[in-house]
Amino acid sequence: MTHRRRTARRGCDGGRRAAGALLAGLLLVSACAAPDDDAVPDSTTRGVRATLDRRAAAVLEHDTDAYLAAIDPRATGLRTAQRRELDNLADVPLSSWTYRLTDVTGQGTDRATADIQLRYRIKGYDAAPVAADRVLDLRRDSADDRWYITGDRAGKDGGRQLWQQGDVQVVGGKHSLVLGVGRTEQELHRISQAADRAVPAVSDAWPERWAGRVLVLVPHTVEDMADLLGSPAANYRGIAAVTTGRTGGPDRAPADRVIVNPQAYGLLSTFGQRVVLTHEITHVATRAHTSAATPTWLSEGFADWAAYRAEDRTATRAAPELADAVARGELPAGLPTDEDFGFSGDSARLAKAYEGGWLACELIADHWGEKKLFAFYRAVGGHSGRDGAVEQAMQEVLATTPQEFTALWREYLRSRLG
Q: Are 148 and 141 in contact (CB under 8 A)?
A: yes
Cβ count near 102 (within 10 Å): 17
CATH number, domain of 145, equals 3.10.450.50
Query: By mean pLDDT, which of 47-51, 147-151, 242-246 is the weakest?
Result: 242-246
Rounded distance, CA 179 to CA 258, Å? Answer: 10
| Domain C-terminal end among 101, 133, 160 | 160
Instruction: Sheet containing 94-106: give its strands across.
Output: 94-106, 111-122, 130-141, 146-154
Q: Are 219 and 159 in contact (CB under 8 A)?
A: no
Rounded distance, CA 180 to CA 175, Å? Answer: 17
Asked whether residue 74 falls in the same domain as residue 176, the answer is no
Winning range, highest mean pLDDT, from 16-20, 103-107, 246-250? 103-107
Number of domains, the chain: 3
CA distances from 129 to 90, 97, 255, 406 (A): 19, 9, 7, 41
| Domain C-terminal end among 119, 144, 160 | 160
- The gap from C-alpha 194 to its chain's centroid, in whole angstroms, comes to 18
Asked whether residue 81 falls in the same domain as residue 147, the answer is yes
Q: What is the amino acid identity at position 148?
A: Y
- Counting residues of the chain whose pLDDT is more than 70, the rounded percentage is 87
Question: How much is the mean pLDDT over the chain?
Answer: 88
What's the pLDDT at 127?
85
Asked whether residue 326 falls in the same domain as residue 268, the answer is no
List pLDDT tens digits, range 214-239.
999 999 999 999 999 888 888 888 89
What's the pLDDT at 25?
32
The secondary structure of 249-277 as a DSSP string is SGGG----EEEE-HHHHHTS-HHHHHHHH
CATH number, domain of 10, equals 3.30.2010.30
Asked whether residue 28 falls in the same domain as residue 151, the answer is yes
Rounded distance, CA 198 to CA 284, Å? Answer: 12
Asked whether residue 279 falls in the same domain as residue 296, the answer is no
Asked whether residue 250 falls in the same domain as residue 369, the answer is no
Asked whether residue 295 falls in the same domain as residue 406, the answer is yes
| Domain C-terminal end among 121, 139, 160 | 160
Asked whether residue 9 falls in the same domain as residue 39, the answer is no
List pLDDT tens digits, range 50-97.
999 999 999 999 999 999 999 999 999 999 999 999 999 999 999 999
Asked whether residue 26 falls in the same domain as residue 154, the answer is yes
Tell which residue, 192, 233, 237, 182, has the closest CA to residue 215. 192
Residue 13 has pLDDT above 60, yes or no: no
Asked whether residue 239 falls in the same domain as residue 308, the answer is no
List pLDDT tens digits, range 332-386.
999 999 999 987 667 889 999 999 999 999 999 999 999 999 999 999 999 999 9
Rounded distance, CA 284 to CA 253, Å? Answer: 9
What's the pLDDT at 39?
59
- Higher confidence at residue 405 or residue 247? 405
Asked whether residue 223 falls in the same domain as residue 301, the answer is no
What's the pLDDT at 158?
67
Domain coverage including residue 129: 22-160
Mean pLDDT calculated for residue range 161-176: 96
Alpha helices in 70-221, H assignment, sequence order? 76-88, 185-205
- Higher confidence at residue 284 or residue 36? 284
